[in-house]
Structure 1
Amino acid sequence: MPRFEYKVVPAPSRGIKAKGVKRAEDRFALALATVMNEHGAEGWDYIRADILPAEERSGLTSKQTVYHNMLIFRRELAEPIEDGTEDQVEAEDRLALAPPADMAEETGDQAMDDAAEEPDTAPEPEPEAEDSPPLAAQ
């Protein structure tokens, strides 16, 4: 079964000026074709364009969701060696992705949810004996 690696790049947001290209739509098409041809020359196949949300800071304390146009490319990886040598391990290490830094930190709501799921391991206090007389002050 073939294995692929993927590359996601931002779509151009402006057109490219060129001789004979007058309209804004044509300039944008030229910019898009240039990005696609550059990646195609490197062996990447164009898959699709997606609009993806991203949470970004807005000021000191607030956040807002912005949308980015992304181009997705893929290319086939060389077949791994079946005997499990270092080449296969290196290819897998190259593909491994670390989680984003903002996802690694827990928010307060997540910490509260995690605490609610954990069983309470503290021993219950013993009830006081009712039949013992109160201590008299001397």
Structure 2
Amino acid sequence: MQRYEFKVIPAPRRGTKSREAKTNEDRFALTLSTLMNDLGRDGWDYVRAETLPTEERAGFMKTRLVEQTMLVFRRPLGGATAAAASLAATLTEAPRAIAAEPPAPRLGPAIEPPPGQAPAIGKAE
């Protein structure tokens, strides 16, 4: 059974300014894709976005209920990564084992020429 570790981060609230993104939607999409690509390089897979309620202070004595949008990522635990590294090491050693096999025996001519006569190559008899 595959085991995972999870990472939960708050979703960005606004997009970052960029020359290539002119609209708010484009800026937000660029921010999300940059965030997901950065985490993807570290082995994290995007799972889903969750909107969860949380209490927040509102003044000195009051609290209010607000919703937070969180992004959920996961990646396999270290044991799976170690197994993949072991498999990769085995696969890199396999060509050396194949190269160490002795060469196939050489085959001679099908018909031995009589002693003192050179073999006839390409002659039709």
TM-score, normalising length from structure 2? 0.61
Amino acid at match of 2:72: I
Aligned length: 80
- Residues 91-130 of structure 1: CA deviation (Å, up to 9, x unaligned): xxxxxxxxxxxxxxxxxxxxxxxxxxxxxxxxxxxxxxxx
Alignment of 1:23-42 (within 5 A): 23-42=23-42
Amino acid at match of 1:49: A
State the alpha-carbon separation in 2 of the partners of residues 31 and 42 from structure 1.
Answer: 17
For structure 1, which runs of at least 5 residues remain unmatched after alignment?
Answer: 81-138
In structure 2, the residue corresponding to 1:79 is in which secondary structure?
helix
Larger radius of gyration: 2
State the alpha-carbon separation in 1 of the partners of residues 35 and 79 from structure 2.
Answer: 27
State the alpha-carbon separation in 2 of the partners of residues 32 and 8 from structure 1.
Answer: 14
For structure 2, which runs of at least 5 residues remain unmatched after alignment?
Answer: 81-125
Corresponding residue for residue 48 of structure 1: 48
Runs of 4 or more above 4 Å deviation: none
- Residues 61-118 of structure 1: CA deviation (Å, up to 9, x unaligned): 11111111110000000228xxxxxxxxxxxxxxxxxxxxxxxxxxxxxxxxxxxxxx
TM-score, normalising length from structure 1? 0.55
Give the aligned CA root-mean-square deviation in angstroms: 1.3
Paired-residue identity, %? 52
Alignment of 1:1-138 (within 5 A): 1-79=1-79
